[in-house]
Structure 1
């Protein structure tokens, strides 16, 4: 019995699956057949694979995927961290400030060194962090429901129904407020 655990973006398909499979490749193929879009998502991503507590490298992955699994084996698929590579300017300016601060003998040298170290850490963080992407091209999907309230809401400019007689209809909130204290 093999347990496959998904992390990160793959959690949309589920977090834990138990399959009766002999190899990791057989277990993943079983999931590919049952879950629509999983194969494409894994092929488009960059994942860290861990089988029975052993991290797989690119060289050992082909061999590791076809090795017979032990009893109660666990396979982890974790998204690999990738950076944006845009903070090099902060690192360079930070290094210059550290050098200038170390070379000066006045009191402000410590301040320059602290600012330089801060800029270097900021630049390294920017290089290691991937910027999130947003799909802002489709305006119809950006409906604001005031922090996901349960009230029915209506967009600006939509017609307001005018009913005569006794009707059973849903509500359309015309005005809604939020007050924080």
Structure 2
């Protein structure tokens, strides 16, 4: 049946349009339409994460080939590092691999392009290889284990400040490359000491 496919954020910018009317009975058909009509979209989507909704319901990887009723399909990019691991989030590469793996020859045809009225003829889809053993791993937290976020550097001295008799209290000595803040007004915070030293000098009594 005909339904709307709606794209959001950077995905819509990449494709150049944010709404299509497509004959698609499953989410897999919708993904096939995108892959067959927009060059480079597989490479673009592979490393990114998406929440795919049918109406207000978020689809998981096991439901990609299930009939989805009459609601619109929404592809919503998910920003990495947002935290929480809530909702059903799909890795783009896994979404495409699972969608394409079940098709022998499927032609997705777009009837209209939002308000533009431009038609797309979908190409026949040949059998495509999956992206490897991990391609079918779509998250709910699994992607964070596959692609952990890098740790922020700790801008502090590697030397234990407790062995120094020149400074007391918390460590204030910063390592090379530490950003130096510029503060205005009265503040209550620890300082950022760029360098510090203690010199001894013999003084006659």
TM-score normalized with structure 1 length: 0.42
Higher helix fraction: Structure 1 or Structure 2?
1
